[in-house]
């Protein structure tokens, strides 16, 4: 499906991009760390951010919830604080966290920038993120190595954010760490290269196929306080929303799908105001026929 982004969707898209940049820079403000090869060790490191942002990134000021949850699981402890943080964030805004705040999502969007062809991703691949989400904690807790402890398997073997935000900058700046690089690092670089290439062709491939945090937030899309509001009686079936959806959803058929990242392009192009993001349902006329006729 090919569709240029209509002009009326662009102001919100620019605002979203600005917010993504502000969050990405604000969450990684320890800029000297990129040159010294050291990570930030201030008090804010005890605060879990609600999005994927590796805490070993030299610039990171906060803690990644995925890494935190896994490290607690390794110690067979329940991460109440990290779980509470992501639960509250998910209950408040669902995957809008992915669409508006996640720095790794921003990087993938930048790689995809300018491409208008929306390629669907095979459904089986989009289900992988749920397998990772469900398997991550038990694996960290119960699949143990020689020392009797598990490891943060997602971070160690999959997470491309850790490779890009922490591995590459720290290895470039820190010679002692470079000496430790082995096959696991090569494997993670390979994953990063594949996902980077995929990001050029596909919109946010990591978010859609592998991210356990995105899978978790997606579960809340239908019940989050701030969510997409679809007033079916107002829908003119013009499919303008579906045409601009970057993740290829049939928006009227599946509003608030777990795969929706709430970029809100659809709300901007809907000619009848049937789609809206917010706290309350849209006020609608009592019959669809009457309402659609009214706006013709």
Partner 1 sequence: MRYSACAPTEGIGRSLGVKRLSRSNAWGWALVGLGVVLAIVGIWQGELRDVFLKAALICLECMGLR
Using CB under 8 A, which residues numbered 84 to 113 contact partner 1?
84-92
Task: Report in angstroms how near the CB of residue 169 gets to partner 1 at its nearest.
Answer: 10
Choice from 7, 80, 122, 253 touching partner 1 (CB under 8 A): 80
Run of H or E residues at 230: strand 227-230
Q: Six-digit token pair at 149?
A: 């402890």
Which of 180, 197 has the CB closer to partner 1?
180
Contact (CB, 8 A) for 292 and 272: yes
Q: Which of 12, 19, 177, 277 binds partner 1 (CB under 8 A)?
A: 177
Shortest spacing between CB 233 and partner 1, in angstroms: 9
C-alpha to C-alpha distance for 193 and 164, rounded to whole angstroms: 10
Helix (H) or strand (E) holding 294, with range, is helix 288-295
Name the residue nearer to partner 1 (CB basis): 126 or 272: 272
Residue 4 binds to partner 1 (criterion: CB under 8 A): no
* Per CB under 8 A, 217 contacts partner 1: no
Which is closer to partner 1, CB of 247 or CB of 269?
A: 269
3-state secondary structure of 198: helix
Q: Which of 224, 251, 262, 263 binds partner 1 (CB under 8 A)?
A: 224
Q: Which residues contact 239 (CB under 8 A, 6 or more apart)?
A: 252
Q: Is 173 in the site for partner 1 (CB under 8 A)?
A: no
Backbone torsion region of residue 237, taken as left when φ is above 0, otherwise alpha when ψ lies between -120 and 50, otherwise beta: left
Q: What is the DSSP letter of 121?
A: P
Closest separation between CB of residue 75 and partner 1, Å?
8
The span of 82-90, 119-127, 128-136, 245-253 binding partner 1 (CB under 8 A) equals: 82-90
Pattern 41-60, binding to partner 1, x per CB under 8 A?
x-x-xxxx-----xxx---x
Q: In whole angstroms, how large is the CA radius of gyration of the chain?
A: 21
Query: Can you tell me which of 162, 212, 255, 258 binds partner 1, judged by CB under 8 A?
Result: 162
Q: What's the 3-state SS for 156-188?
A: HHCCHHHHHHHHHHHHHHCHHHHCCCCHHHHHH
Shortest Å distance, C-beta 133 to partner 1? 17
Q: Which of 20, 28, 30, 68 binds partner 1 (CB under 8 A)?
A: 68
Under 8 Å CB-to-CB from 44, ≥6 apart: which residues?
61, 62
The answer to whether 244 and 269 are in contact (CB under 8 A) is yes
- Residues numbered 233 to 262 that lie near partner 1 (CB under 8 A) are 234, 236, 238
């Amino acid at each position: 499906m090919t569709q240029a982004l209509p002009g009326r969707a662009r102001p919100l898209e620019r605002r979203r991009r600005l917010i993504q940049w502000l969050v990405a820079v604000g969450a990684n403000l320890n800029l000297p760390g990129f040159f010294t090869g050291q990570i930030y060790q201030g008090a804010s490191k005890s605060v879990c951010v609600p999005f994927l942002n590796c805490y070993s990134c030299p610039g990171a000021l906060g803690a990644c919830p995925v890494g935190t949850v896994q490290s607690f699981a390794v110690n067979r402890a329940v991460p109440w604080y990290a779980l509470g943080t992501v639960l509250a964030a998910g209950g408040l805004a669902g995957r809008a966290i992915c669409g508006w705040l996640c720095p790794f999502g921003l990087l993938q969007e930048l790689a995809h920038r300018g491409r208008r062809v929306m390629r669907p991703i095979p459904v089986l691949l989009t289900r992988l993120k749920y397998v990772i989400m469900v398997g991550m904690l038990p694996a960290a807790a119960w699949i143990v190595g020689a020392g009797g402890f598990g490891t943060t398997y997602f971070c160690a073997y999959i997470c491309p954010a850790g490779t890009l935000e922490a591995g590459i900058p720290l290895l470039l700046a820190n010679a002692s760490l470079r000496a430790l690089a082995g096959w696991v690092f090569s494997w993670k670089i390979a994953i990063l290269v594949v996902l980077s290439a995929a990001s050029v062709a596909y919109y946010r491939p990591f978010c859609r196929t592998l991210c356990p945090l995105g899978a978790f937030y997606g579960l809340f899309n239908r019940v989050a306080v701030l969510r997409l509001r679809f007033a079916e009686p107002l829908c003119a079936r013009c499919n303008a929303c579906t045409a601009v959806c970057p993740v290829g959803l049939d928006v009227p058929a599946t509003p608030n799908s777990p795969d929706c990242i709430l970029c809100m392009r659809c709300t901007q192009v809907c000619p009848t105001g049937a789609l809206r993001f917010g706290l309350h349902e849209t006020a609608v006329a009592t019959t669809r026929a009457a309402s659609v006729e009214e706006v013709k």
